[in-house]
Structure 1
């Protein structure tokens, strides 16, 4: 049996994380320590990757991206931005997809999945458990989040509280007092911080304006067009008066609400104003008023910081709050 990373660490008098960093040429390892680790690894015949060339090059030249879904608008565009920067720098992208969330399904993302495979990891919006975060930090590779705050690592994202407040304030400013909200489902709010932040912002903005929060007008969705239509239908089926405006936690849910309103003969915006968040590819064509963000730019910014860190720039990985913009189109107007 060949030597292990623990054997190299013991002989060189360093931690296994330091061995990993030294062999891949990552920053924050002194030249003396790196030389000692390389010499020890060679002496013991330790190969740190599936190919012996990994020891010679010192890097995998690969950055991992951990994503909960690959078929959602934000994630797809963010991945494209990340990949552009990686290719410009001669790096490859390795995608770790959790495939969404099924009821009762246990997540399986561990240190062993990334060790020896990647030089850095970008986490897209996903909430990480303390155990997962500790395992990733043990690999001692640069770690960043994209799209939403993740405890324990710096990230690139918009201020979701401010963005949701801006959307709600737009409706209030038009004169709406009966406002409903399509928000993230329970699983979404457990696994991501962003839906919860937007929900808090909506409720706080309504309370500050002295407006009533009607529980029956607050419906969960799954950030898809189909689920937006179903959530809107549940509100439209209620007896009595209906809201004059809907704030939707994503443009896809807003588009679904628009389709359901059209199916029922509810005129947008004459009878019902609708606003979303994102500026989805279809939003301009649909005339949807929204709070615009640019996920490809988020991905590029995060990947750029990761590249700088891997090239030895100290403290290159930092928290970065990106801009957003209220884009007023045809789906919002004063109530009748």
Structure 2
């Protein structure tokens, strides 16, 4: 079996240069890195992860911490992060902090992180003071996606702007009776995104002088099943809205299912809009505000890799706000009275 010394001899460089090149560290020219990789491939050389970790003090593993892993948004982020890290010889260790209850989560502990990861990426997760103290004590760089973490790099969308786009679209079509789905209790683990979107919805309604019906602000656990269940009573009422703004596409899909179960046509009887551009949104004809979830994952991974000494093209940013855009499909139209 080939050794790192064999690779260095064949490539005409030092053992240290081979080590830096294969770990994706800087101070290695692109031409040298390419030659080292070519020789390593030809010699079937694979570095021992244990030996590399002992020599460098690094595990080449990044902890990705999420409040949920079963949702499309989080799964898409993890996939993009993993692919980006893998290209630079790093890997993902997932920490799913989901508890049995939607409004609670498990804490991040020293046993999860110590000597297991080189850095941390959080996915829309507020950190407690105790968790931040732990990360600092262990000397781990941290990048936050979505909910910011104090004094750490952050990659996100403007949640308020996304909901403003969605609500303004409904208003521009002539809707005045608009409901909202996606309010959550204040103790929910990822409260910032739901609250920012609800506040933006209310702001648009207020700016246009439209009445906000308290019974039309519906809570949800941000799943399609929950939204379908939570909106059935509202949609079966004779005093129902003509449009629903959902804080996510998954909830919007649930609203569409509930509407059809009540015999309502979309968009003739009810317009529905969401946020995300979920993998199923185009198939279902859902109007939405698109966010590039994968791009956020890639950017966060590059920033963390840069903090670990890896040369990445976009790793020097400290705050990245990814654009959103309105995508109009078949689920929205003027209200019946205007049609």
Instruction: Calculate the TM-score normalised by the size of structure 2.
Output: 0.79
TM-superposed deviation, 1:187: 6.2
Query: Does the 8 Å contact 2:244/2:270 carry over to 1?
Result: yes
Query: Does the 8 Å contact 2:65/2:120 carry over to 1?
Result: yes
Q: Establish whether residue 306 from structure 1 lines up as the match of residue 304 from structure 2.
A: yes
The whole-number CA distance in structure 1 between the counterparts of 2:106 and 2:145 is 20
Q: Aligned residue for 1:66?
A: 65
The whole-number CA distance in structure 2 between the counterparts of 1:151 and 1:101 is 28
Q: Aligned residue for 1:253?
A: 251
Query: Does the 8 Å contact 2:227/2:252 carry over to 1?
Result: yes
The whole-number CA distance in structure 1 between the counterparts of 2:55 and 2:119 is 19
Q: Aligned residue for 1:236?
A: 235
> Against the structure 1 CA distance between its residues 210 and 196, is the aligned structure 2 distance closer, same or farther, given a 3 Å change threshold?
same
Cα-to-partner distance string for 1:80-114 (whole Å, 9 max, x where unaligned): 00001110000011111112452786623123421
Query: Does the 8 Å contact 1:64/1:94 carry over to 2?
Result: yes
The whole-number CA distance in structure 2 between the counterparts of 1:227 and 1:119 is 37
Cα-to-partner distance string for 1:204-237 (whole Å, 9 max, x where unaligned): 1111111111001110111111011012113124
SS, match of residue 117 in structure 1:
coil
Q: Aligned residue for 1:162?
A: 161
Instruction: Calculate the TM-score normalised by the size of structure 1.
Output: 0.80
> Following superposition of structure 1 onto structure 2, how do residues 309-324 of structure 1 map, counting pairs within 5 Å?
309-311=307-309, 316=316, 318-324=318-324
SS, match of residue 291 in structure 1:
strand
Q: Establish whether residue 286 from structure 1 lines up as the match of residue 284 from structure 2.
A: yes
Query: Does the 8 Å contact 1:266/1:272 carry over to 2?
Result: yes
Cα-to-partner distance string for 1:135-172 (whole Å, 9 max, x where unaligned): 22222221011133334422111100100011000001
SS, match of residue 95 in structure 2:
strand
Query: Does the 8 Å contact 2:67/2:190 carry over to 1?
Result: no
SS, match of residue 186 in structure 1:
coil
SS, match of residue 171 in structure 1:
helix
SS, match of residue 318 in structure 2:
coil
The whole-number CA distance in structure 1 between the counterparts of 2:295 and 2:109 is 28
Structure 1 segments unaligned to the other structure (5+ residues):
1-25, 28-49
Range with bigger deviation, 148-157 or 130-139: 148-157
TM-superposed deviation, 1:306: 1.0
> Following superposition of structure 1 onto structure 2, how do residues 1-336 of structure 1 map, counting pairs within 5 Å?
54-100=53-99, 102=101, 107-186=106-185, 189-238=188-237, 240-311=238-309, 316=316, 318-336=318-336
Query: Does the 8 Å contact 1:279/1:290 carry over to 2?
Result: yes
Structure 2 segments unaligned to the other structure (5+ residues):
1-24, 27-48
SS, match of residue 60 in structure 1:
coil
The whole-number CA distance in structure 2 between the counterparts of 1:265 and 1:112 is 53
The whole-number CA distance in structure 1 between the counterparts of 2:177 and 2:91 is 50
- What is the count of residue pairs matched by the alignment? 290
Q: What's the C-alpha RMSD, in Å, of the aligned pairs?
A: 2.5
The whole-number CA distance in structure 2 between the counterparts of 1:103 and 1:165 is 26
Cα-to-partner distance string for 1:253-294 (whole Å, 9 max, x where unaligned): 101110111111111111110000011111000000000112
Query: Does the 8 Å contact 1:276/1:291 carry over to 2?
Result: yes
SS, match of residue 195 in structure 1:
helix
The whole-number CA distance in structure 2 between the counterparts of 1:223 and 1:259 is 15
The whole-number CA distance in structure 2 between the counterparts of 1:104 and 1:335 is 35
Cα-to-partner distance string for 1:41-66 (whole Å, 9 max, x where unaligned): xxxxxxxxx96763313311111100
